[in-house]
């Protein structure tokens, strides 16, 4: 982290985030290479066969680390191609994850980088295998979507960002990813929320041993649409063009209203037939 001054506020922010990034179960680590601690390569007091085995073991560690770093860098490059062509071109020649992160650290503002790293740190944690239930699974998806939307437009956040996040999560979201990537209009929160709701139902059906009942209720991801409000009479449910108080000719007739009432409650005559007469009750 050479680019951050140790006593700067940005450094303090980064330290909080990097603590999560350095967890043992996190793929996206920002830590010094294993070989950085190998000085000297072997202890000077070793000799003979012991020294040779130590050298071979250390070289094997170095090779494993180089291979791990190379494969991690390849994974990052694949993600960057989806995230932003600009980033992908900028880091195209970097072959290790350490060089890649150092370059991004130099290039982007600290808060953008912190948000970016938070997202990647959670990708590993947000998989179907690591979630105990569909509820937890979908909640983590929503968190990632909200965080990706929070990144400033024009930086590293865009529709492809949301798509790649969802791609990392599970096959149930392939249809959402495809829809987001092929949308001509910008994806709004309502669209994303409804797609997450549909995907959540898919996950629930796969988990449930019996068919889901309607009593389970709507998904929490479903975005509630705001009811239309008439600017003339100030009532919800219609707009000015449909307001019969403003346009009297649009007012339904009394007969029409009566028919509508009968269709709901039943025919009044039919109801009268069911009432016993006085003569019947006397007899």
Q: Is residue 230 part of a domain?
A: no
Is residue 114 situated within a structural domain? no
Over the stretch 20-53, which tens digit does the pLDDT of each residue have? 444 444 433 333 333 344 344 455 566 677 777 7
Q: Is the domain of 146 the same as that of 190? A: yes
pLDDT at 178: 53
Rounded alpha-carbon distances, angstroms, from residue 193 to 11, 143, 171, 213, 267: 35, 12, 18, 22, 43
Whether 90 and 141 share a structural domain: no
CA distances from 80 to 46, 103, 177 (A): 46, 13, 16
Examine residue 231 and state whether it is found in any structural domain, yes or no: no
pLDDT at residue 8, rounded to an integer: 46
* One domain for residues 3 and 99: yes
31 and 86 both lie in a single domain: yes
Those residues with Cβ within 8 angstroms of residue 260's Cβ, 6 or more apart along the chain or in another chain: 252
Domain membership of residue 46 as a residue range:
1-109
Residue at a domain's end among 224, 256, 271: 224
Question: pTM (2 decimals)?
Answer: 0.28
Residue 55: predicted pLDDT = 77
pLDDT tens track for 157-190? 444 445 554 555 454 455 555 554 455 444 455 5
Does 53 reside within a domain? yes
The answer on pLDDT for 59 being more than 80 is yes
Q: Summarize pLDDT for 223-267 with one digit per residue, the tens.
A: 445 556 787 887 766 777 778 777 766 565 555 554 544 444 444
């Amino acid at each position: 982290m050479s680019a951050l001054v140790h006593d700067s506020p940005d450094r303090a922010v980064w330290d909080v985030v990097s603590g999560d990034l350095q967890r043992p179960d996190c793929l996206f680590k920002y830590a010094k290479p294993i070989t950085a601690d190998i000085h000297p390569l072997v202890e000077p007091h070793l000799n003979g066969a012991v020294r040779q085995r130590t050298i071979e073991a250390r070289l094997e560690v170095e090779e494993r680390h180089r291979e791990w770093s190379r494969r991690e860098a390849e994974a990052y490059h694949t993600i960057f191609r989806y995230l932003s062509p600009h980033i992908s071109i900028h880091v195209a020649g970097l072959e290790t994850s350490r060089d890649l992160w150092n370059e991004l650290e130099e290039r982007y503002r600290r808060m953008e980088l912190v948000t970016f790293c938070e997202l990647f740190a959670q990708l590993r944690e947000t998989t179907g295998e690591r979630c105990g239930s569909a509820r937890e699974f979908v909640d983590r998806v929503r968190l990632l979507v909200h965080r990706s939307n929070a990144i400033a437009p024009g930086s590293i956040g865009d529709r492809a960002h949301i798509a790649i996040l969802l791609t990392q999560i599970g096959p149930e979201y392939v249809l959402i990813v495809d829809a987001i990537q092929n949308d001509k209009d910008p994806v709004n929160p309502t669209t994303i929320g409804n797609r997450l709701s549909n995907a959540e139902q898919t996950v629930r059906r796969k988990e449930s041993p019996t068919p889901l009942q309607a009593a389970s209720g709507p998904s929490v991801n479903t975005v509630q649409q705001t009811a239309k409000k008439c600017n003339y009479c100030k009532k919800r449910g219609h707009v000015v063009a449909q307001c019969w108080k403003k346009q009297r000719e649009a007012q339904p007739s009394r007969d029409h209203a009566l028919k509508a009432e009968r269709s709901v409650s039943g025919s009044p005559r039919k109801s009268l037939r069911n009432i016993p007469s006085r003569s019947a009750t006397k007899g």
